[in-house]
């Protein structure tokens, strides 16, 4: 009996050793292919510089659908298709304008941009006194008496002491998303929100906001101000508490329009019904060209299928790339994809999203069971030579979130986060800030993870 | 006996637990201070934008000595001083000029720069046919017959498939350093070297080269060409093998001049004779402003002492910052520092260098005994919350190299290396490419490591 166990152990170890070295070999090939023959940087160049910002419902968003579909068509996948989805259409209109006025006629212009989903100001703009708060919590302390008729200036900065900048972001994104809704309850006439940016610069950063069930007539306009602008404004208000703030924006919501998720797949040779999804979102905000958010994630996801093909690997399971539409202001693409998948009773075993910028990959976060997480952790040594050290539990991604069920692994690529919010949702999110190698290393890491899930499946 | 062992174990564990949590607290304070009150970015701004490139022997190098000495003086250290050292003075002269000529009068200008230490061309320049090689090894294959009277074009690119870009650099830096010396043996009249840059762009990257014992009359001029230029030239030579290459440069070596290492220290309260050095090099090449190489390392090193003071920590051992002069083209500062240290029989236990750019820190490399490395590895969990995952064996740094003895720990900060060679030694190494947070995280990681060595000393 003991002898038998020993033999079994030897066989297992040999097999493990063999498969580990097969995995090492395959991952090495994937990285080599990514760093010498990737198309992701060229694709991103086109998306960013030939198309540009791709806000849902815009002509550019449609151009991005057409372009990425054509590129996927050219890869010789087993199937490429468009999945229709209706998306909201919010349009910024003419550039916003704002100033602070410390005495009649003494004004300083400040860089603002409307938050996505905000209503316009009246044609002549809004001009009012201002009250500064350090986050939504302070509205209640001030009360209606001090807020009514004023513009509320939300100036809570991102916490610079947190190492993961997403945690800093989560600590103040509520003032952007819900600031207007909350301030309106106290009679505010507008809100100006400090940009969610850890850097001091002159770019206002947009992003989605919502009015919840606030009635149309009570909805007040909301705009972001650059971090330098916010510091200037705060100082000005300390010196001149009665200063007036003026801003004007002409943004508008139109009826929903037809758009698409772009999907392509390599059908699995052995378990075609087990689907591994990899994706990013094709829409972006309108101020920059959306290179980091999330052009990078789209081209990396497209590259996963291409790199598998180029490196001569034939997937056992179905590998599907999904470029989701409308992550930024509606998540309609992600919801639609999950709805269709469920209605067709498709068996998604893994979904991997890249939506944290095209920076040097540091690892992945996993939203999954302990058993699945244990499986992933066992692959750690395969990733170490590629300086992928973080295989942590955490959020997968917004677009793949609606797919979640208890048996599934949701995963998110985790690139270095230090520079991300410098660019996020602003005119500073442009192609020249993406490094080719860093982008390719992300694609290689994603491809390697997909390869491992394809090879071993997920434990139940 | 067993009972006694148990008690000893309990005491040890309690003490360990206590000291671990003290360390956690102290490191947290260091990071918080670095991310909110660091001076490194302001210092770097001055070095880069008010002083600029600081080539040894230049006025800017002297300005950098004066500025950093004054800044260290203002920190309230126990002692700040200048250590005299004679340095070489090589001057680029008027901007270099080059073209390739495929037929008489049909020329295309190409961006080149003289390699540091190169001789000038004759006043009228050098014009000759060209022979392309993929590294020094190929010279022998071609032989004198094919090389004599020609300009040798060394076009071996950095290997993009290596994850650590320093390895790619090491794989072809010999053609920059020794290409001219080797080609001259075969009668070449000049060398053009592909820039050591993984990116395709238009910046030529300089760097040191040497003639060894080649006689003055046999020394041939050497220049770097941008990566785009190299690709263009290579294609041109394939289409027109008889094309001539012309270049002109007027660089010159002057007599050695007086310069200084800038040094400051906090004297240890308990073991003042045990010295922990932290440093970078104050000189840089002349094309950019030397922000990444190595302004970043200098201001981070200065910040280590400041952050220790600001976070209320009183070192037990002597913590000394050294800003070394002349790393780039002579290493005279590093050699002088070690020479003086040895003549004074100073007991250096640790030297930590930052000379790999101001990017997000990934870890440290250690050149030390197994016992010392074991000690360092035991600190891994203290660094993990700050996303410092690499505590590896490897090179410490060029400037601290001459200090090496068997009992000492030499350490190097290892930032993310993907973008480093985009900037290295070129006009693209400028302040706007350094991210404030990334720079500060490096300073915090260095300060934390110095704190741990100060607290625990080094094992013998």
Dump pLDDT digits (tens) for A421-433: 999 999 999 999 9
Dump pLDDT digits (tens) for A189-213: 999 999 999 999 999 999 999 999 9
Q: Same structural domain for residues A207 and A318?
A: no
Dump pLDDT digits (tens) for A334-357: 999 999 999 999 999 999 999 999
Q: Give the length of chain A.
A: 460
Dump pLDDT digits (tens) for A54-69: 999 999 999 999 999 9
The answer to whether residue A33 scores a pLDDT higher than 90 is yes
* A window 379-398, beta carbon within 8 A of B: 385-387, 389-390
Asked whether residue A3 is assigned to any structural domain, the reply reads: no
Count of structural domains, chain A: 2
Q: Closest by alpha carbon to B92, among B330, B325, B293, B285?
A: B285
State how far Cα B174 lies from the chain centre.
17
Q: What pLDDT is attached to residue B278?
A: 98
Collect all residues of chain A within an 8 Å Cβ-Cβ radius of residue B199. Answer: 435-436
Cβ A450 vs Cβ A277: under 8 Å: no
Do the chains contact at B360 and A386, CB–CB below 8 Å? no
Helix (H) or strand (E) segment spanning residue A377: helix A370-377
Q: Same structural domain for residues B361 and B405?
A: yes
Asked whether residue B367 is assigned to any structural domain, the reply reads: yes
Ranges assigned E (strand) in A355-396: 361-367, 390-393
* HEC secondary structure over B65-92: HHHHHHHHHCCCCCEEEEEEEEEEEEEC
Q: Closest by alpha carbon to A442, among A376, A373, A352?
A: A352
Cβ B66 vs Cβ B97: under 8 Å: no
Token pair in block for residue A444: 């290689």
Q: What pLDDT is attached to residue A407?
A: 87
Question: For residue B364, what are the domain limits?
Answer: 29-90+255-456
Centre a 10 Å sphere on the Cβ of residue A148 and count the other Cβ atoms it contains: 12
Q: Same structural domain for residues B369 and B345?
A: yes
**Total-model pTM:** 0.95
Q: Alpha helices, DSSP H only, in A240-346?
A: 296-310, 332-343
Collect all residues of chain B within an 8 Å Cβ-Cβ radius of residue A160. Answer: 35-36, 437
Those residues with Cβ within 8 angstroms of residue B100's Cβ, 6 or more apart along the chain or in another chain: B107, B108, B110, B130, B233, B236, B243, B244, B245, B246
* DSSP string for residues in A400-415: TGGG--TT-EEEEEEE
Asked whether residue B50 is assigned to any structural domain, the reply reads: yes
Q: What pLDDT is attached to residue B398?
A: 98
Distance from CA of B418 to the nearest CA of A (A): 7
Dump pLDDT digits (tens) for A44-99: 999 999 999 999 999 999 999 999 999 999 999 999 999 999 999 999 999 999 99
Q: What pLDDT is attached to residue A406?
A: 83
CA dihedral A438, A439, A443, A446 (to 10 degrees): 60
State how far Cα B40 lies from the chain centre.
17
Q: Same structural domain for residues B199 and B157?
A: yes
Q: Same structural domain for residues B145 and B245?
A: yes
Q: What pLDDT is attached to residue B19?
A: 66
Asked whether residue B24 is assigned to any structural domain, the reply reads: no
Q: Closest by alpha carbon to A229, among A385, A90, A108, A350?
A: A108
Q: Mutating which of A38, A163, A440 best tests the B interface, going by the most B Cβ atoms within 10 A?
A: A163
Q: Mutating which of B163, B364, B390, B445 best tests the A interface, going by the most A Cβ atoms within 10 A?
A: B163
Distance from CA of B394 to the nearest CA of A (A): 15
Collect all residues of chain B within an 8 Å Cβ-Cβ radius of residue A161. Answer: 31-32, 35-36
Radius of gyration of chain B (CA): 24
Q: Which of B219, B250, B281 is a domain's end point? A: B250
Low-confidence ranges of chain B (pLDDT < 70): 1-19
Q: Closest by alpha carbon to B432, among B311, B297, B289, B327?
A: B289
Does B198 contact chain A (CB < 8 Å)? Answer: yes
Q: What pLDDT is attached to residue B12?
A: 45
Does B32 contact chain A (CB < 8 Å)? Answer: yes
* B window 234-263, beta carbon within 8 A of A: none
In B, minimum Cα distance to A386 occurs at B163
Q: Same structural domain for residues B181 and B80?
A: no
Asked whether residue A307 is assigned to any structural domain, the reply reads: yes
Dump pLDDT digits (tens) for A364-404: 999 999 999 999 999 999 999 999 999 999 999 999 999 99
Asked whether residue B9 is assigned to any structural domain, the reply reads: no
Those residues with Cβ within 8 angstroms of residue B239's Cβ, 6 or more apart along the chain or in another chain: B102
ipTM reported for the complex, 2 dp: 0.94
Q: Closest by alpha carbon to B441, among B12, B95, B40, B89?
A: B40
Smallest Cβ–Cβ distance between A36 and the set B31, B160, B419 belongs to: B160
Asked whether residue B117 is assigned to any structural domain, the reply reads: yes
Q: In what order do the strands lie in the sheet with A151-154?
A: A106-109, A97-103, A244-248, A126-133, A151-154, A190-194, A222-225, A112-114
The answer to whether residue A9 scores a pLDDT higher than 70 is no
Q: Same structural domain for residues B36 and B74?
A: yes
Q: Same structural domain for residues A367 and A422?
A: yes
What mean pLDDT do residues A241-250 have? 98
The pLDDT mean for chain A works out to 95
Q: Same structural domain for residues B214 and B274?
A: no
Q: Same structural domain for residues A399 and A290?
A: yes
Higher pLDDT, A14 or B77: B77
Residue A370 annotated to the active site: no
Angle at B36 between CA B32 and CA B39, to 5 degrees: 115
Radius of gyration of chain A (CA): 24
In B, minimum Cα distance to A163 occurs at B386
Do the chains contact at B437 and A198, CB–CB below 8 Å? yes
- Backbone φ, ψ for residue A366 (5° rounding): -125, 130
- Name A190's bridge partners: A151
The answer to whether residue A242 scores a pLDDT higher than 50 is yes
Q: Same structural domain for residues B57 and B104?
A: no
State how far Cα B408 lies from the chain centre.
21
Does A335 contact chain B (CB < 8 Å)? Answer: no
The answer to whether residue A13 scores a pLDDT higher than 90 is no
Judge residue B394's burial from the number of C-beta atoms within 10 Å of its C-beta, 0-12 exposed, 13-18 middle, 19 or more buried: middle
Q: What pLDDT is attached to residue B13?
A: 45
Question: Lowest mean pLDDT: which of A16-25, A230-239, B26-35, B159-168?
Answer: A16-25
Domain of A201: which CATH number?
Answer: 3.50.30.30
| Inter-chain Cβ pairs, chain A and chain B, closer than 8 A | 63
Cβ A422 vs Cβ A198: under 8 Å: yes
Q: Mutating which of A36, A160, A383, A420 best tests the B interface, going by the most B Cβ atoms within 10 A?
A: A160
State how far Cα B199 lies from the chain centre.
19
Q: Which of A250, A277, A300 is a domain's end point? A: A250
Domain of A345: which CATH number?
Answer: 3.40.630.10
Q: Closest by alpha carbon to B416, among A33, A18, A418, A107?
A: A418
Catalytic one among A327, A328, A353, A440?
A327
Distance CA A192, CA A225 (A): 6
Q: Same structural domain for residues B285 and B402?
A: yes
Buried residues in A424-443 as b, exposed as e (16+ CB within 10 A): bbbbbbbbebbbbbbbbbbb
Smallest Cβ–Cβ distance between B199 and the set A360, A416, A436 belongs to: A436
Asked whether residue A175 is assigned to any structural domain, the reply reads: yes
Q: Which of B207, B227, B250 is a domain's end point? A: B250
């Amino acid at each position: 009996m003991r002898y038998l166990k020993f033999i079994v152990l030897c066989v297992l170890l040999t097999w493990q050793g063999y498969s580990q070295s097969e995995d090492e070999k395959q991952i090495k090939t994937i990285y080599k292919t990514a760093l010498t023959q990737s198309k992701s940087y060229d694709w991103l160049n086109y998306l960013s510089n030939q198309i540009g910002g791709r806000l849902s419902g815009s002509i550019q968003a449609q151009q991005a659908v057409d372009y990425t579909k054509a590129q996927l068509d050219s890869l010789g996948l087993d199937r490429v298709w468009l999945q229709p989805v209706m998306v909201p259409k919010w349009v910024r209109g003419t550039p916003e304008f704002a100033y602070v006025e410390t005495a009649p006629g003494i004004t300083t212009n400040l860089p603002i941009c409307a938050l996505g989903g905000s209503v316009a100001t009246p044609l002549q703009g809004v001009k009012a006194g201002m009250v500064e708060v350090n986050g939504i919590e302070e509205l209640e302390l001030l009360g209606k008496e001090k807020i009514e008729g004023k513009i509320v200036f939300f100036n809570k900065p991102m916490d610079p002491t947190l190492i993961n900048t997403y945690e800093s972001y989560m600590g103040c994104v509520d003032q952007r998303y819900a600031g207007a809704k909350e301030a309106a309850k106290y009679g505010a006439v507008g809100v100006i929100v400090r940009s969610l940016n850890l850097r001091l610069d002159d770019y206002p950063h947009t992003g989605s906001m919502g009015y919840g069930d606030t009635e149309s007539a009570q909805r007040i306009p909301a705009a972001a101000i650059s971090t330098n602008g916010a510091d200037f404004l705060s100082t000005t208000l300390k010196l001149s508490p009665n200063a007036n703030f003026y801003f004007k924006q002409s943004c508008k919501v139109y009826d929903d329009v037809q758009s698409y998720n772009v999907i392509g797949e390599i059908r699995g040779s052995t378990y075609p019904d087990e689907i591994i999804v990899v994706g990013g979102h094709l829409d972006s905000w309108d101020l920059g060209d959306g290179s980091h958010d999330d052009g990078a994630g789209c081209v990396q996801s497209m590259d996963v299928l291409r790199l598998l093909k180029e490196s001569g690997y034939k997937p056992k399971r179905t590998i599907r790339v999904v470029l989701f539409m409308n992550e930024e202001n509606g998540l309609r693409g992600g919801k639609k994809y999950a709805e269709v998948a469920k209605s067709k009773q498709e068996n998604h075993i893994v979904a991997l999203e890249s939506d944290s910028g095209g920076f040097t990959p540091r690892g992945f976060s996993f939203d999954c069971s302990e058993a699945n997480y244990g499986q992933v952790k066992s692959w750690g040594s395969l990733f170490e030579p590629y300086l992928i050290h973080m295989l942590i539990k955490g959020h997968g991604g917004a677009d793949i979130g609606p797919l979640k069920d208890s048996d599934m692994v949701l995963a998110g690529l985790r690139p270095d986060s230090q520079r991300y919010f410098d660019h996020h949702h602003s005119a500073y999110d442009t192609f020249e800030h993406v490094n080719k190698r860093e982008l390719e290393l992300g694609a290689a890491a994603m491809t390697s993870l997909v390869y491992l899930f394809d090879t071993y499946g997920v434990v139940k």
